[in-house]
A and B are shown apart, each in its own frame.
Chain A
Amino acid sequence: GAVVSQHPSWVICKSGTSVKIECRSLDFQATTMFWYRQFPKQSLMLMATSNEGSKATYEQGVEKDKFLINHASLTLSTLTVTSAHPEDSSFYICSASAQMNTEAFFGQGTRLTVV
């Protein structure tokens, strides 16, 4: 299957700082990328959907000013957690698909710990 690379795999940051997570589709052009958040022993919670060249669509309850998503190219989307706080500590996962309703490929996830 296609490869989606997420970087970094883990990051520790101080409260109040911002953290950027990258999601790259390595061997296909991803018109749509998704960002999820997953708490321990829970399911994936969709945070936002981003389409290349347009603004991301955020799910209800997700602060768009806190979780900045940029999808500047067909192979790269970034999630920036701004002014991070300990409650933002979680496992963040991206996925990418060439089209909606086709197979979505997931990155390996990023473990964010805010101290």
Chain B
Amino acid sequence: QQQVKQSPQSLIVQKGGISIINCAYENTAFDYFPWYQQFPGKGPALLIAIRPDVSEKKEGRFTISFNKSAKQFSLHIMDSQPGDSATYFCAASIIDDKIIFGKGTRLHILP
């Protein structure tokens, strides 16, 4: 029940295309859903986050869509660029508890 399931495991997108990564969770007590971007040899960096009282959040080319009833949330990267090539992790947490990470998606943007 503590798991966060992430798909796909890897993704290849043409430059300028839309990259979509999906996550699903079981624990309805989760109330914070961040996405992290990680480059090789570096620690993860927070990209964007959402709370369940909002269905969508957009920051620049990055958008989180949140479906509370389906217990799913997704990351959309618009106009994907080669510099977006990285590993992306979705995560979830509840008050006073740890962050649970998905298994990650390795994104490669073709130039």
Residues of A within 8 A of B (CB): 1, 4, 6, 34, 41-44, 46, 49, 91, 93, 95, 100-101, 103-109, 111
Contacts and interface: CB of A to CB of B under 8 A. Distances in A.
Given A43-B89, A43-B104, A105 B99 contact: no
B41 A111 contact: yes
Given A34-B98, A100-B96, A103-B46, A42 B103 contact: yes
Nearest to A93: B43
Given A42-B103, A101-B93, A111-B41, 14 more contacts: A4-B43, A6-B43, A43-B89, A44-B44, A46-B99, A93-B43, A95-B99, A100-B93, A100-B96, A100-B97, A103-B46, A103-B49, A104-B46, A106-B46
A7 to B, nearest CB: 12
Contacts of A91: 41
A105 B104 CA distance: 18
Contacts, number: 54
A101 B29 CA distance: 12
12 contacts: A34-B98, A41-B106, A43-B101, A91-B41, A100-B95, A100-B96, A101-B32, A104-B34, A106-B44, A108-B43, A109-B42, A111-B41
The 8 A-B residue pairs with the shortest CB-CB distance in the complex, in nearest-first order: A106-B43, A109-B43, A100-B96, A101-B95, A43-B103, A108-B43, A93-B43, A106-B44
> How many interface residues does chain B have, given as a range?
20 to 34
Nearest to A34: B98
B94 A101 contact: yes
